[in-house]
Structure formats: structure tokens, C-alpha cells
Amino acid sequence: MSTLDPERNRTDAKRVSTATLAFVGDAVYGLLVRERLSAVEAPVGKLHEASAGMVCSLAQSEAYDRLCGLLTDDELAVLKRGRNMNSNHVPKNADTLNYRRATGVEALFGYLYLSGENGRIRMLFDAIWDGADIPVKTGEQQ
């Protein structure tokens, strides 16, 4: 990822808890969305709304479907590990299935980031972005 240091020390992502992978992946995913939306000439409030709509559990659950056929066996295992993680918390605006699938997507992005797989992150995010219903027009779509 262009905004991240590729020379930083890599973490052994296989030893990191699933909850921590999702925690990191949430930040990575949100940054990717904001980076793409930064190409849009729109009021910041509209960009924030678009960002919130793309990082919500429903949108990430839809991303889950787009990713499944693109993943290696190890990546698919992390995605499913995140989806199956026990959580005592489900946001009031999300159903359990969407929330769990979104957690799987976040865990995958956290795993890839901590593994230093920035090119793979970009490729998978491109697949998500290309299939997403983006609520504002990006520079490449104008």
C-alpha cells in the first residue's frame, strides 16, 4: 500500500489472535476506502457518508462473497476463522450473519497487512471496489 512502509518489520500473522487480526484489518480496510474516496471531488460530509456505507457490516459482508473465489487456501482459512470467531458483541444496526462475515473480511485484511502482503491487499481490494455500489462517483468514473 502506498501509504504504508513496506520495509517495516513483519509480524508472524499466524500467531496473532483472530480478534487482533480483525482489529488491524478494520483500520487497513477503512484506510483503503478513504484513499479511494479521496479521488472524489465532493464535500467531506458526503465522503464520510460514502466511507461509512462501504465499511459497514452489510457492505463488508457483500465483499466476503466477492473474495471467496479469489483466495488461497491459507487466506480462505483466515477469512473463515474470522467469520467463525466468537463475539459477545453485535452492533445494533447489523444482523449476526453480516457482522460475522464482515469480521472475516477484516481478519483477512489484518492478516495480509501483518504478513507484509501489500500487493495482495491491493488486488483483493480492487476486486471488492470494482464490484461495489459506490455512493459517490470516483475520479475514474467521472
Domain contains 11: no
Task: Identify the residue with better confidence: 9 or 33.
Answer: 33
Active-site residues, by number, are 26
Domain contains 142: no
Return the C-alpha cell found at 106. 477484516
Nearest CA to 129 out of 118, 114, 113, 140 is that of 140
Q: What is the pLDDT of residues 58-111, one digit of tens each?
A: 999 999 999 999 999 999 999 999 999 987 776 777 788 999 999 999 999 999
Alpha carbons 25 and 5: distance in angstroms, whole number:
16
Q: What is the CATH number of the domain that holds 55?
A: 1.10.1520.10
Alpha carbons 3 and 105: distance in angstroms, whole number:
20
- 3-state DSSP call for residue 63? helix
Domain contains 3: no
What is the total count of domains within the chain?
A: 1
Note down the domain range covering 66: 16-134
Domain contains 52: yes
Against a cut of 0.75, is the pTM above it? yes
